[in-house]
Structure 1
Amino acid sequence: MAQEIERKYLVKNDSFKGQAVKAVRIIQGYLSSVPERTVRVRIKGDKGFLTIKGIGNESGASRYEWEEQIPTEEAEELLKICEPGVIDKTRYIIEHASLIFEVDEFYGSNEGLTVAEVELIDEAQAIDKPEWVGEEVTGDVKYYNSMLMKQPYTQW
């Protein structure tokens, strides 16, 4: 199983959109959203994925992750049996200072929320943040997608 190390930030404004090299719509649901193991079904553009994530470490920056591409038709069928609540967002890919920032702009019950994630080699890696990156929310569970489906941003 691969180790995922990432930091998460709120986004201050939409100036990131002009820097994006790619944007893709994502629809996802959860077969299991318990913190010890989340099982996510995702349709990203025209591709389906199944992802299993383990519980995060103390800082919330590292956790185990396994992901495999599955046929889109199977992902569509699995979404029908997911827990209530669907995440609908556009993911923008931005290259900055040799890092890749993934910025998620949420819709529906999470409208108004935009977060940026950056994957790292290790937790101590220095990050040169773009001007549109705001407060760090790494490890704050209310910003996990698996929690946003249960407690949407518009209900905070």
Structure 2
Amino acid sequence: MNYKEIERKFLVNNLDFIKESFDNNRIEQGYLNSHKQRAVRVRIKNEQGYLTIKGESNQAGTTRFEWEKEIPVSEATQLLGICESGVIRKTRYLVKNNQHTYEVDVFDGDNKGLIVAEIELSSENEIFTKPSWLGDEVTGQVKYYNSQLSKNPFKNW
């Protein structure tokens, strides 16, 4: 099992990605621990629960350790009840673009108005196509990490 996640993150210019998406999911997530060196996340995506541990990012912000385990939604719901304050709610759209799939998060609640797209890569130097709706790159900018959005939401910027 590969525990290394390589991804890049971008702001989104417009809503054109919605008509290009092939699926979307409602996500609610909280953090049991949102320390810089490790984040422990609880997530409910549609009707399934997940527990995820992420390590500290490399200097470029593109690569970090990630471990995820599916858990019963009843357990995820209980764990959300003991998370740090600032639960994240969003809709994630999946958009196929050549051999890659962009995950585009449209945030609700205190982060309403923020739309961020992520693309997972097999290497840090992998070439990928940027759709017209993709905006400025924010890879490695800590304020865009979900763990930080739970502490300092978009409405406060």
TM-score by length of 1: 0.99
Distance in 2, matches of 1:148 and 1:12, equals 19
Q: CA deviation at 1:151?
A: 0.4
Distance in 2, matches of 1:15 and 1:35, equals 34
Give the alignment of 1:21-60 within 5 angstroms: 21-60=22-61
Distance in 1, matches of 2:114 and 2:136, equals 13
Q: Work out the percentage of aligned pairs sharing the same amino acid.
A: 53
Query: 4+ residue stretches of structure 1 with deviation over 3 A?
Result: none
Distance in 1, matches of 2:59 and 2:98, equals 27
2:115: which partner in 1? Answer: 114
1:5: which partner in 2? Answer: 6
Distance in 1, matches of 2:57 and 2:96, equals 26
Structure 1 gaps of 5+ residues are none
Give the partner amino acid of 2:94: I
Give the partner amino acid of 2:155: T
1:38-79 Cα shifts (integer Å, max 9, x gaps): 000000000000000000000000000000000000000000
Give the partner amino acid of 1:9: F
Q: Does residue 1:88 correspond to 2:89, yes or no? A: yes
2:129: which partner in 1? Answer: 128
Per the alignment, in what secondary structure is the counterpart of residue 14 of structure 1? coil
Q: CA deviation at 1:98?
A: 1.1
Q: CA deviation at 1:82?
A: 0.2
Structure 2 gaps of 5+ residues are none
2:144: which partner in 1? Answer: 143
Q: CA deviation at 1:37?
A: 0.6
Distance in 1, matches of 2:88 and 2:20, equals 24
Distance in 1, matches of 2:105 and 2:141, equals 16
1:72: which partner in 2? Answer: 73
**Paired residues, number:** 156
Per the alignment, in what secondary structure is the counterpart of residue 142 of structure 1? helix
CA RMSD, Structure 1 to Structure 2 (Å): 0.6
